Amino acid sequence: MTELNTVRVIAFPGAPNLPVFAAMRNGDFAEIGLDVTLELTASSIEQAERTARDEFDIIFTAFDNVVAYNEGQGAAAEGVDPGYVAIAGATRLDLAVVTGKEIVDFAALAGRKVALDAPTTGFAFAFYDMCARNGITRDAYSVDAVGAAPQRWEALKAGLCDATLLIEPFTSIAKNAGFNVLQRSTEAYAHYQGGVIAARRGFLERHPDLVARFLRGYMAGLRWSLRPENRQAAQDLLASKMPQIQPAAMNFVMNSLLSPDTGLTPEARFLDQGAQQVLALRNAYGNAAPVNSYARYVDLSHLNAVLTGENVE
């Protein structure tokens, strides 16, 4: 039997991991000689720190995290450089401003406590902007760095914060529990590059073949996940990996995840207009030097080879 090459992956908890679950379960990675391990992160800071220590090769993260660390604006300690290079799109995402049961509009956020992953990276700027669009400026509420969506949802549920930003399935879980969704990013922005697949720069330079093969395996899992005839099997797989999704919420979670407007990006395309929106939000709320181009930390050559059917062995 041919020895498999190990590729170490880190991602945030959430429904967008379905294509990776599928590729692992269906044997798509093993078929092309990869042993893929997947670990879920508690926060973007932890993700960056551990990637910088060379614990991971492939990273599923917010595109803004790629921008932040390449521009020296990351939330981790000074000198932490995970070396992110975006190699494909993953999700547009539907980021939702979710509040406690007694908060029914943005005006009620004044003087309240907000839980975010990190205050200066990731999706924080989308939260600030959606609030500002609805009359609540950044200085009207306080922000705590709590970590990834599961931790933020638990903080909201426990009353440790008054509002947060969630993705599926946590948005639907919260809504079904009586919490309020004030606005979604898909309502605010025509285009938004939410999640991307990134590789560590050193890994990309040393093992371009493994990066290309990973993308091929991921693409197989993505295409399987998006085929209508596989919906029930995909739903069952997601439920087995994320048992916290209640049956009453599962249909909405799947609808959101399988929609190109709110979830997985068909063919893992990188959304240029969505990336430009990410830069615009960072430039508006990042309190740092403006970022005008992401060219030096986006490399779509391997994705393009997969999509055109070129040999990526």
* pLDDT per position as a tens digit, 41-76: 999 999 999 999 999 999 999 999 999 999 999 988
Residue 311 pLDDT? 57
Bridge partners (DSSP) of residue 36 are 7
Mean pLDDT to the nearest integer, 143-160: 95
Taking 80 as the threshold, does the pLDDT of residue 310 lie above it?
Answer: no
Residue 1 pLDDT? 39
Mean pLDDT value across the chain: 95
* pLDDT per position as a tens digit, 92-102: 989 999 999 99
Give the count of alpha carbons within 13 A of 192, CB side only.
Answer: 24
Residue 10 pLDDT? 98
Band (142; pLDDT cuts 50, 70, 90) = very high
pTM of the model: 0.92
Residue 184: strand, helix, or coil: strand
* Nearest of 111, 1, 124 to residue 62 by alpha carbon: 124
Residue 2 pLDDT? 53
Q: Which domains does the chain have, with CATH numbers?
A: 5-92+193-307 (3.40.190.10), 96-188 (3.40.190.10)
Per-residue DSSP letter, 117: S
* pLDDT per position as a tens digit, 1-37: 357 899 999 999 999 999 999 999 999 999 999 999 9
Beta strands in 92-202 (DSSP E): 96-99, 113-116, 142-145, 163-166, 180-184, 195-200
The two three-digit tokens of residue 30, written as one number? 């093993």
